[in-house]
Amino acid sequence: MGFFDDSICECCVCPMQCVLDQLKDETVSIITTTDEIENSEIIEVKNFILTIFNNDEQENEYLPVCNVSAVTFSSSKQVNLKPSRKSKKGECSCCEDPTNDFLNSRSKTELLRIRYLNGVNTGSIADLGEGIVILQDPSEPLLHAISICNINNISPGSPD
Q: How much is the pLDDT for 5?
A: 53
pLDDT digits 0-9 by tens, 41-86: 999 999 999 999 999 999 999 999 999 999 999 999 999 999 887 7
pLDDT digits 0-9 by tens, 81-113: 998 877 766 667 778 889 999 999 999 999 999
Q: Is 72 helix (H, G, I), strand (E, B) or coil?
A: strand
Q: How much is the pLDDT for 150?
A: 93
Residues 116/69, Cβ–Cβ less than 8 Å: yes
Q: How much is the pLDDT for 3?
A: 46
* Residue 135: alpha-carbon gap to chain centroid: 9
C-alpha triplet 13, 16, 18: angle, nearest 5°: 115
Strand locations in 47-158 (E): 49-54, 59-64, 68-74, 112-116, 119-129, 132-136, 142-147, 151-156
pLDDT digits 0-9 by tens, 115-155: 998 899 999 999 999 999 999 999 999 999 999 999 999 99
The full set of domains in the chain, from first to last, is 13-74 (2.30.30.100), 91-156 (2.30.30.520)
The CA distance from 61 to 77, in Å, is: 23
**Terminal C-alpha separation, the chain:** 34
Residue 1 has pLDDT above 50, yes or no: no
Give, as one character, the DSSP assignment of residue 157. Answer: -
The CA distance from 7 to 134, in Å, is: 23
Higher-pLDDT residue of 42 and 158 is: 42
Q: How much is the pLDDT for 80?
A: 97
